[in-house]
Structure 1
Amino acid sequence: MTTEATLPSTSVSPTARQMWTRTRGILLALLLLLAAAVTIAVIRSGAEHGRLDPRSADPYGSRAVAALLAGHGVSTRVVTTLDEARSAAGPETTLLVAVPDLLTDRQQARLQAATAASGGRTVLVAPGTASLDKLAPGVTADAAPSLETTLSPACSLPAARRAGSADTGGIRYSTVVHGADSCYPSDGLPTLLRIPQPPDGGDTVVLGAPDILYNDRLDEQGNASLALQLLGSRPHLVWYLPSLSDDSAASATGGRSFFDLLPSGWIWGTLQLFIAAALAALWRARRLGPLVPEKLPVAIRASETVEGRARLYRKANARDRAAAALRSTTRTRLAPLVGVPVAQAHSPEALLPALSAHLHGDGQALESLLFGPPPGDDAALISLTEQLDALESEVRRP
């Protein structure tokens, strides 16, 4: 019974360890990015809590404004539904709409119908294009926001002149309404508008930024004075905080889509991720090089194949595989020369006696040379190669 020796696998496919080594940097970067996103979300969620809520003492809350108004005899009432806001509109009431863009088209139309003839004041905080057409007809929002935060009044509106400079820099507006007061301009466009609504004496105030209502900004510039005058012109203040859970929003037939309700920051963030992914794909594609059409089969010189495999062995420190390949090839070539069938070339019992008889040498030395252990270092591998060459030359000698 003979056993045939087989060559170790020479596959160059990456192992699990090599895959982990190559991808751990990318995975670590993704993990850090995810951790940063979660941290930012937690921080922002904490800061956004109670935003523009007159009951909140958070930096972005508005309890300080409500307390200031209460000291001047103005009552503040918080409502969260459209029906409450519409029923509260009246000549003795100032209705503040905290986030007008959250209202659907139908909600905006119903609110405008209730406030247009009420004789009271409506204050819109940082409305955008989505809400101006219905809530403030004749007013349009400029696409470029103000680059300055603190602005000067530059208008004849008494409330603005008494307050002086204030942090109104935000969305800029333009209007075609006759008799409107345009205040706190930035690059020629106002950030605060007062639109009169004759003949009932009511008006609509469009405020480009909510900064003057924040707790942590109220004591800066003329913010407190401007907020007090804009919101305290009537004895009652109704603070409307629109909510997506409002029944009027759920039943609106002209409601906006889910993507319209997403904050613009999320949309831009997603777009940036897509751009980054496209750039990464382009970068990786360029590393692979251009596609080159090539006729098959391709003739490759044997020396190139041997050199390429040798480099792979050396890169992997695979001296055992290299030695096994050299010994196997030598046995295959020697077997026919000494009268041993190729099928039995890798059997010591068949090959070694024939070689010893042909060379009249030491069978033990031949066994160590052709079937011995793998070399321990590069020098031993080179020595093995030279001995195998010498053995084959000796056998071929006439």
Structure 2
Amino acid sequence: MTLQTTERSYSVSPTARSIWKRGRAIVLVAAIVVVAAVVPVLLPSGSTGGGSALDPGDSSLAGSKALAQVLGAHGVSVQRVDDVATALAGLGTDGQILITEATDLTASEAGRIAAAPADRLIVGQVPYLDVLAPGLISEVGGTSSRSRPPSCGLREANAAGSAYMGGTSFTGPPGSTGCYPSDGKPTLVRYTAGGRTVTVVGDGQFMTNLRLAEDGNAALAVNLAGTKSRLIWLVPPAEPDQISQSSGPDGSDGSDGAGSEPKSLGELIPSGVGWAVVELVFALGVVALWRGRRLGPVVAERLPVVVRAAETVEGRGRLYRARRARDRAALALRAATIDRITPRLGLPRTATPDEIVTAVSARTGEDPEQVRPALFGGAPADDAGLVALAGYLDTLERQVQDS
């Protein structure tokens, strides 16, 4: 193969050192952009549900919205209220009131709840426990919360199995049932006082969105909170800057696990994402201006080597011959011939083989039975057949051009 070389041969490919010198500034700017976009998203922006710990309307890890939805799916009406008067008005005869450690009660409010004709579920370190659960004694000092077996005869606990329990342990009054013991003292106690069922749990983490899916936490929470068809969930009053909860069926602020309206996509996106997008667009614009001003006119470069087209064809032919790829060679010859004669025959690019064979036969006078295998036949059996095919295709093309 004869090569025509220029006076000077040089490499135009960039080296790794040059690429790094040109790109390190871009990498630095990209890192700054990523940090500026990610940090606002990762920073806490408040509760996503507008509530507090163990709040049925709060979808954060400390909230209990998942439990409220599970209870709603089991037919329990969950009503979220933030004042004692509304809670007592909605109890009725088929209700149970849930009081958590986040509830802010006064002594008089605790007395009114204790006098109400409804079952009580008390979770965590609730104030005025001696009024809400008379006869129950809280042990001094807390106990660590972890997965514990029920180790008791309470049906609801045995059905759930192990649960994440701990916090405060108790000494129950005579006739009470204690479960999930820590150092011999139960962390869950249930008994009857004044004709009403009182259930006290030392730690409410098993009811949160974070822990609900672990062990038997969900089953235990549903078994304890779903004993009645209506659950009045007492939460602390909302702060002015918190998001108000959706109105319940009776007009009070509530969160029914089965009937709460789903949030839109915009409400689910954290507030910091908008500013992150703005910063990202601004940074990309700065980078575009910075790099764009350095672009100049296109520079024409002389090729270091010039290779004649005939030599390229010969080289490809030798490769086909070395691999005995007569099928590919024949296919290339036929495809090139068809591409060149189809416009001269007045046929579109989408013409079918039958249309092409008919048009070639009519133009050249060749037998269609010879034209068809030449243009659309199989691979030649040997090199001599490939040479004969190339000659016949050349003859057909000349006849079409000259006719």
TMscore range, shorter length: 0.3 to 0.5
Higher relative contact order (CA 8 A, sep 6+): 2
Higher helix share: 1
TM-score by length of 1: 0.46
